[in-house]
Amino acid sequence: MNWSKDRSIALSRGCVVLFMILLAALDIGCYWAVRWFIGLRFMPWQSGVLMMVTIYLCSGFGWVLLVRLWQLLDNIRLQLVFDLRNVKLLRQVSWCCVGAGAVCLVSCLYYLPFIAVAIAAGFMALLVRIVNNIFQQAIDMKAELEFMIWEGEAIMNDLNYKESSYNFEFPYEDDESKRILYNSRTNALALIDKENCETLCAANCETLCAANCSLCGARSCVGKMVPEPYGG
């Protein structure tokens, strides 16, 4: 079966809905479930009351967590991946795990096995926090890249062109009519029109531009004309 991105997101959203249904069932049947449990373990009724308080407090964090996950998946479905809103959502998910873990940790005072839930919640909070930091770093890098590209485009409008043997051409996903030009010597980037890029390449270095990178698909544009700061 061809497993596409849309199917993966749909499966994830389905899992979130399933957990919402299970959490709602737990909220509704909490009294009877706790009553059955304390009868099975011969626990005092006071422990049952405390256990219900623990369950409902954790349920509150659970509802916030599931709603935030739904919003995160919805953003990904709309191709809003490296977005600051997703960082905020992941941070809230992490704090929900911390909150539930803290409740379970306190609940160990009357029922020690809750410590396993507290440890699991703390571990999940750590994982989500790491993912959150990765998203934040990716957003910062994306913003820096976009700044460098547009800065390079502005410079190109004012300066003369110069041949360079260090330039490589990459596709620009946001605009198919443009290409990203990377200079491996200066680490500079520039955004140029696709037509101009292909014309210059064909006119100036048909042989030299024939070098292709089989690994990344980049084309070496050694004879292509680029601004003076990007030359080498």
Higher confidence at residue 208 or residue 153? 153
Q: How confident is the model at residue 40 (pLDDT cuts 50, 70, 90)?
A: confident
Residues 6 or more apart whose Cβ sits within 8 Å of residue 181: 152, 167, 168, 169, 170, 189, 190, 191, 192, 197, 221, 224, 226, 230
Question: Does the pLDDT at position 195 exceed 90?
Answer: no
Tokens of 100: 């539930």
161-163 vs 225-227, strand pairing mode: antiparallel
Q: How far apart are CA 178 and CA 227, in angstroms?
A: 16
Stretch 72-100: mean pLDDT: 91
Residue-wise pLDDT for 134-186, tens only, equals 888 888 777 666 655 555 554 444 444 455 666 777 777 777 777 777 766 66
Contact 164, 230 (CB under 8 A): yes
Tokens of 113: 């096995």
Question: Does the pLDDT at position 221 exceed 60?
Answer: no
Q: How far apart are CA 140 and CA 148, in angstroms?
A: 12
Residue-wise pLDDT for 88-141, tens only, equals 999 999 999 999 999 999 999 999 999 999 999 999 999 999 999 988 888 877
Q: How confident is the model at residue 49 (pLDDT cuts 50, 70, 90)?
A: very high
Predicted local distance difference test score (pLDDT) of residue 170:
77
Assign residue 18 a region: left if phi > 0, alpha if psi is -120 to 50, beta otherwise? alpha
Total residues found in the chain within this entry: 232
Contact 85, 136 (CB under 8 A): no
Amino acid letter, residue 186: T
Contact 155, 229 (CB under 8 A): yes
Residue 216 CA, distance from chain mean position:
23
Q: How confident is the model at residue 208 (pLDDT cuts 50, 70, 90)?
A: very low
Report the 10 Å Cβ neighbour count for 2. 4
Predicted local distance difference test score (pLDDT) of residue 229:
43
Packing angle, helices 84-107 and 114-156, rounded to 10 = 170
Higher confidence at residue 16 or residue 211? 16
Q: For residue 82, what is the DSSP state?
A: S
Average pLDDT, the chain: 77
Amino acid letter, residue 108: C
Contact 133, 76 (CB under 8 A): no
Predicted local distance difference test score (pLDDT) of residue 214:
37
Q: How confident is the model at residue 41 (pLDDT cuts 50, 70, 90)?
A: confident
Predicted local distance difference test score (pLDDT) of residue 16:
95
Report the 10 Å Cβ neighbour count for 151. 14
